[in-house]
Structure 1
Amino acid sequence: MMRVSLTTMTRRTAAMLLGATMLGAVSFATGPARAAEEIRIIATGEPYGLGLKAAAKVFEEKTGIKVSVDQFPYSDAYNKEVLLGTAGSDEYDLMVLDCIWLPIFVKNKWVQPLEPLEAKAKQKIEWNAFLPGIVDAYDVIDGQHWAAPIDFFIEVLAYRTDLFEKAGLKAPPKTWDEFKVYAEKLNDPANNVYGVVSMPGEQDGGYSEWTVRLASFPMPPDSTQFVWDRKFNAMLEHEGNGKKALDRWLEIKPFTAPGANEMGYAEATNAYMQGNGAMYINWYGFFPDIENPETSKVADKVAYALPPVETLDAKRHDYLGGYQIAIAANAPKPDAAYEFIAFVTSHEGQEIMLEAGASGAYRTDVYDNQKWLDKFPFLVPVKDTEVLVPLTSGLAEYVEMQRLIYDQLFAAWAGQKESGAAIAEANAGLDELMKSLGYQQ
């Protein structure tokens, strides 16, 4: 299997590998003293943190309970949260977790279910107010709620309206065939503009670019997503779809910028913001900076649509991602922690989050409010989704699974393997992994 250096490895993999080496005999320093009426939150460094801090101020005014929000870089946050859980620490009441982390935190009993707290709470979480599908995708495990959405996003196509107009293209590509044609037509290396910005150099980014194409094909039988079925059998070779999706990704390689092999989320987003690409598919959680004229040269030149599909007559599936807020197993103030979740996910809390710039709208009513659609235009395509598909689908060790597949995808991208051989090896490795973890009988 190809080795991937930490410089090109996704933050998620680096975090998982580092965290895994630290499990076992772990000591954890006692956190700073807290006020009598205070709850503490540990979170990653993403923009939703701005919203949490704004909501915390209003919550304190309403309840007298102080809320402290500590944000750390993505990998550091994961490592610290793993240490907190392993050590049985009571330093934090609330943890914000990437959706792909929550299953392993539930499996290891590092967070607690919300039902016992909800039963005695005055203000309850309005589960029916969330965008349909996002709670069931990640927050309900073994029939209990373990977290609530605090940030939500899907993959979206960003495209340059000025370049489209210049090329005589009147609408975004709707199929992958069109996407390739558009990429070639818009490719203009002489002016440092390329048809597509891609990010094969980072695990999660490259894997996502493949899965967004994989989701264009019919879902395998007895499955809730496209990589494995309900019995945890690998589905990468089902009807050749894994190879077809990889070939779709490889066909746009000639129209990507030089150095794409080293690009991840940050590098690709920056390249697009600097005007070096005509089209860019990514989780829309990375798009707020594109709309910011202080950071982006293309802020007034971008429109958004759902990614292309293989055929227009098939049912559409879109993967969903985001961050979830959970209560630590040893939270000193679990009742107050639940009360804060109920507040920040309420209509008022969502409005505060959006006003502060946290664009990952998780409540349905946001998508009928033109104010927010104007402020965050990349939210508009969400209304056109048909079926939202979870990433993890019952597998706690998601990052390990993703790394195994990404190694083969990148080998094909780098020209080290044929696409069919890469998918065959990934499929066999996935079956072996599922068996070793005890999922597959």
Structure 2
Amino acid sequence: MKRKEVRNIRNRALNKEDKGGEKMQLKRAKILLSVVIVAGLLFTSALALAQTRIRVLMLTSPAMTALRDMVPEFEKKYPDIKVVWEDTAYADIHTKEMNDFIAHTGRYDVIQMDNPWLPEYAGGGFIENLEPWIKKAGLRLWKDNVRKWPPGVEMYPTIYLEDEIVPVLNFYGNWKGNLYAIPNMPGVQLLYYRKDLFEDPQEKAKFMAEYGYELQVPKTWKQLYDVAEFFTRPPNLYGLTWSAGKGNMAVQNYYNIAWSWGADCLAFGQGFPDPDDPIHNMPICNSPIGVKALEFFCSLKPFMPPGVAAYEWAEITSDFIQGKAAMMFQWSDFVRDVEDPAKSKVAGKVGYALMPGNPDAPVNNVPGII
């Protein structure tokens, strides 16, 4: 065999060996990468298993948005806890919670509820008595069996937390003498109004000519009616936007009117505090003053945008920040959205006042805690 042929055979053999080595190195690299990926997945899984996951269900609202923004800070302070956040509209939150309770799915660990649901949730055994957990956390909780709660009924002990008596704690968390909930979203309804409209010289002159008195922020329900009627110019502007959806939406707003006129919906609020009295919990919304308040409430509908009968807080806020209403009755925490220039066309143009009342009654505010 010639020397050249021998050299060619040797070179081909070396090339084959090199390619085989490359393939082997590539195979080793793939195996190593797989090991790294698997190790990473195992580490991530182990970390996830080591964390306690707390799933919460909250109401979609500016106040809860602020709370959600604090979750990263909480998780940084407690790295072994992972918060899984979910929020939903008011119309859906009760249904989601009850479905979870009845089906025993245990989907949620922490929930937000409206205060009228406390008897249903606590009485049904769906939520836990918080007192053992409060004591475990080292907080001082004690009860006064002399000073009973609620006032006028005095059936259950008053609850103190950390040497303080907090009335809202008992109003909204005390169920038959035990603490089942901590109030976390306080608020008061306010009258939001467009300063740019109320202070416009032409609008003021026109109102004076039509109604015979100066345009001003309404202090009485009669003034509110006049101002709402005056600014109603459909389809671009309405005098008032106000949630009138079924259930709590309509009830809370009816109460604004009814209470300021001295009406109530339950007899114990009208001087029948004895729980053994058959009339104690009897509905009395159909009293003459209650009917009058309801009729007035309904009379405002022509001055509101179409669809208010299904409105919740988000819809009325949307109308107002888009400049579609001169006034809005809304909870105080929605100021955040109203004054956000990125969301609101009326940011910086809004004034805030107390709810209207009757000349013979104090100006009415309806506080609320969820």
Partner of 2:292: helix, strand, or coil? helix
Do the aligned partners of 2:338 and 2:346 also contact (CA within 8 Å) in 1? Answer: yes
Question: Cα distance, 1:216 vs. partner?
Answer: 0.6
Q: Find the aligned partners of 1:52 and 1:35 in 2 and give their Cα distance.
A: 25
- Amino acid of the structure 2 residue aligned with 1:134: V
**Residue matched to 1:409:** none
Question: Cα distance, 1:149 vs. partner?
Answer: 1.5
1:136 to 1:170, Cα distance in 2 relative to 1, 3 A: farther
Aligned counterpart for 2:251 among listed residues 190, 194, 207: 207
Once superposed, what is the RMSD of the aligned Cα atoms? 3.4
**Residue matched to 1:28:** none
Identify the structure with bigger relative contact order (alpha carbons < 8 Å, sequence gap 6+). Answer: 1
Structure 1: runs of 5+ lacking an equivalent: 1-32, 324-441
Q: Find the aligned partners of 2:134 and 2:94 in 1 and give their Cα distance.
A: 27
**Residue matched to 2:226:** 181
Partner of 1:52: helix, strand, or coil? helix
Aligned counterpart for 2:185 among listed residues 129, 147, 151: 151
Q: Find the aligned partners of 2:85 and 2:190 in 1 and give their Cα distance.
A: 29
**Residue matched to 1:24:** none
Q: Which has the larger radius of gyration?
A: 2
If the length of structure 1 is used for normalisation, what is the TM-score?
0.56
Q: Find the aligned partners of 2:342 and 2:191 in 1 and give their Cα distance.
A: 22
Do the aligned partners of 2:245 and 2:310 also contact (CA within 8 Å) in 1? Answer: yes
**Residue matched to 2:169:** 135
- Identity fraction in percent: 29
1:194 to 1:90, Cα distance in 2 relative to 1, 3 A: closer
Do the aligned partners of 1:59 and 1:65 also contact (CA within 8 Å) in 2? Answer: no
1:153 to 1:119, Cα distance in 2 relative to 1, 3 A: same
Question: Cα distance, 1:43 vs. partner?
Answer: 2.5
- Amino acid of the structure 2 residue aligned with 1:182: V
- Amino acid of the structure 1 residue aligned with 2:361: A
Aligned counterpart for 1:223 among listed residues 241, 265, 268: 268
Question: Cα distance, 1:152 vs. partner?
Answer: 1.8
Residue 93, structure 1, aligned to residue 138, structure 2: no
- Amino acid of the structure 1 residue aligned with 2:197: L
Q: Find the aligned partners of 2:274 and 2:358 in 1 and give their Cα distance.
A: 21
1:229 to 1:188, Cα distance in 2 relative to 1, 3 A: farther
**Residue matched to 2:55:** 40
1:225-278, Cα deviation, whole Å (9 max, x unpaired): 89x99621112133x121111222233334334555565444332221111211
Q: Find the aligned partners of 1:134 and 1:319 in 2 and give their Cα distance.
A: 13
Residue 253, structure 1, aligned to residue 269, structure 2: no
**Residue matched to 2:44:** none
Q: Find the aligned partners of 1:163 and 1:117 in 2 and give their Cα distance.
A: 52
- Amino acid of the structure 2 residue aligned with 1:164: F
Residue 242, structure 1, aligned to residue 290, structure 2: yes
1:44 to 1:252, Cα distance in 2 relative to 1, 3 A: closer
1:132 to 1:196, Cα distance in 2 relative to 1, 3 A: farther
Q: Find the aligned partners of 1:130 and 1:304 in 2 and give their Cα distance.
A: 31
Aligned counterpart for 1:102 among listed residues 118, 124, 127: 118
Question: Cα distance, 1:207 vs. partner?
Answer: 3.0
The 5 Å alignment of 1:332-351 reads: none
1:77 to 1:34, Cα distance in 2 relative to 1, 3 A: farther
Q: Find the aligned partners of 1:37 and 1:266 in 2 and give their Cα distance.
A: 33
Do the aligned partners of 1:44 and 1:72 also contact (CA within 8 Å) in 2? Answer: yes
1:202 to 1:173, Cα distance in 2 relative to 1, 3 A: same
Question: Cα distance, 1:160 vs. partner?
Answer: 0.7
**Residue matched to 2:72:** 57
**Residue matched to 1:268:** 316
Do the aligned partners of 1:216 and 1:309 also contact (CA within 8 Å) in 2? Answer: yes
Q: Find the aligned partners of 2:95 and 2:307 in 1 and give their Cα distance.
A: 30
Question: Cα distance, 1:153 vs. partner?
Answer: 1.8
Structure 2: runs of 5+ lacking an equivalent: 1-47, 142-159, 205-213
**Residue matched to 2:132:** 116
Q: Find the aligned partners of 1:136 and 1:128 in 2 and give their Cα distance.
A: 14
Aligned counterpart for 2:368 among listed residues 310, 315, 321: 321
1:265 to 1:130, Cα distance in 2 relative to 1, 3 A: farther
Q: Find the aligned partners of 2:163 and 2:293 in 1 and give their Cα distance.
A: 35
Q: Find the aligned partners of 2:270 and 2:316 in 1 and give their Cα distance.
A: 27
Do the aligned partners of 1:88 and 1:110 also contact (CA within 8 Å) in 2? Answer: no
Do the aligned partners of 1:155 and 1:212 also contact (CA within 8 Å) in 2? Answer: no
**Residue matched to 1:162:** 196
Q: Find the aligned partners of 1:55 and 1:225 in 2 and give their Cα distance.
A: 43
Aligned counterpart for 1:195 among listed residues 220, 234, 239: 239
- Amino acid of the structure 2 residue aligned with 1:301: K
Partner of 1:298: helix, strand, or coil? coil
- Amino acid of the structure 2 residue aligned with 1:274: Q
Report the number of matched residues: 287
Aligned counterpart for 2:282 among listed residues 219, 224, 233: 233
If the length of structure 2 is used for normalisation, what is the TM-score?
0.66
Question: Cα distance, 1:76 vs. partner?
Answer: 4.7
1:49 to 1:277, Cα distance in 2 relative to 1, 3 A: closer
